[in-house]
Amino acid sequence: MFLKGKTAIVTGSTSGIGLAYAKALAAEGASVMINGFGDADEIEAERAALEAASGARAAYSDADMSDPAAIEAMVTQCAEELGTADIAIANAGIQHVSPIEDFPVEKWDAIIAINLSSAWHLARLTVPAMKQKGWGRIICTASAHSLVASPFKSAYNASKFGVAGIVKTVALETAQDGITVNCISPGYVWTPLIEKQIPDTMRARGMTRDEVINDVLLAAQPTKQFVTPEQVANFALYLCRDEAASITGANLSMDGGWTAQ
């Protein structure tokens, strides 16, 4: 358990990639604060399971990632209940797909706030304690869309390109402080959110399940395989190791060859 004695915050971590991060960190002994929305009983069960896995404490914050004051309160809660964050993973994100002329302004504002600004706030609020300790890991979930664009996703593309920019900048600012700052850029990841979209797409396009998966969802991924949340989480775990101390300011693709094209 190489993270015993370390504390981590993971935003957007009550399901999907975020929960996989939390489980991987806890399995290596870290105290973990999870964050997000969902069924209260299910969240409590996950929190308790993290404690059982880590032998350390786990906490939960329902902070709204579109609210800077709530993000600050979450970081303060983490410090009070678990200790200041050694590892901060900015994972919270939302999506909306629309032509730019029809794109709702409120959707643009929400995506920029949750996907981009919340990552900036998490970094600014956790860097001071990391500097004091001389060790820290900041990891952002970006996307293949931090490197290449897709139509009808102007806000999401902008937010993920922005995340990559934050990562590079903060990495340079903290390069001599024992802190690394990186983003992981997955392609399509197999999550419940993706799985639930398949039946609707089958009906809308008159396709079979396999056609939707291969010709729609995985059209851009040469491997024709989904990335799994566990693969992303284990990549993040590696970035927390001492062996990864020289990896900083990097946008790390994990997209089945998507951005190699």
Residue 90 is which amino acid? A
- 222 lies in the same domain as 243: no
- 170 lies in the same domain as 207: no
- 102 lies in the same domain as 212: no
Side-by-side strand order, sheet with 136-141: 58-61, 31-35, 7-10, 87-90, 136-141, 179-186, 251-254
Question: How far is residue 53's CA from residue 57's CA, in Å, rounded to a whole number?
Answer: 10
- 235 confidence band (pLDDT: 50, 70, 90): very high
Report if residue 118 sits inside a domain: yes
Question: How far is residue 209's CA from residue 150's CA, in Å, rounded to a whole number?
Answer: 22
195 pLDDT above the threshold of 90: no
- 109 lies in the same domain as 29: yes
Report if residue 178 sits inside a domain: yes
Q: Pull the structure tokens for residue 180.
A: 């690394």
196 pLDDT above the threshold of 90: no
- 175 lies in the same domain as 207: no
pLDDT of residue 191: 87
Instruction: Examine the residue annotation and report whether 156 is marked as an active-site residue of this protein.
Output: yes
- 136 lies in the same domain as 201: no
- 129 lies in the same domain as 117: yes
pLDDT of residue 194: 84
pLDDT of residue 93: 95
Give residue-wise pLDDT tens across range 118-142.
Answer: 999 999 999 999 999 999 999 999 9
% of the chain with per-residue pLDDT over 70: 100
Tell me, what DSSP letter sits at residue 145? G
Which one, of 87, 137, 86, 93, lies nearest residue 118 by Cα?
93
CATH code, 33: 3.40.50.720
What are the beta bridge partners of residue 60?
Answer: 34
| Contact by Cβ (8 Å): 35, 92 | yes
Determine phi and psi for 251, rounding to 5 degrees. -105, 105
- 68 lies in the same domain as 194: no
- 239 confidence band (pLDDT: 50, 70, 90): very high
Give residue-wise pLDDT tens across range 63-94.
Answer: 999 999 999 999 999 999 999 999 999 999 99
Report if residue 2 sits inside a domain: no
Residue 155 lies in domain: 7-187+228-255
Report if residue 238 sits inside a domain: yes
**What is the number of domains present in the chain?**
2
User: Average model confidence (pLDDT) for the chain?
Assistant: 96
- 109 lies in the same domain as 20: yes
Report if residue 201 sits inside a domain: yes
| Contact by Cβ (8 Å): 170, 181 | yes
Average pLDDT over residues 29-40: 98
- 49 lies in the same domain as 122: yes
- 95 lies in the same domain as 111: yes
Report if residue 86 sits inside a domain: yes
25 pLDDT above the threshold of 80: yes
Report if residue 1 sits inside a domain: no
Report if residue 260 sits inside a domain: no
- 152 lies in the same domain as 217: no
Of the candidates 21, 60, 156, 188, the residue annotated as catalytic is 156
Question: How far is residue 7's CA from residue 26's CA, in Å, rounded to a whole number?
Answer: 9
Q: What is the DSSP string of 40-79?
A: HHHHHHHHHHHHHHHSS-EEEE---TT-HHHHHHHHHHHH
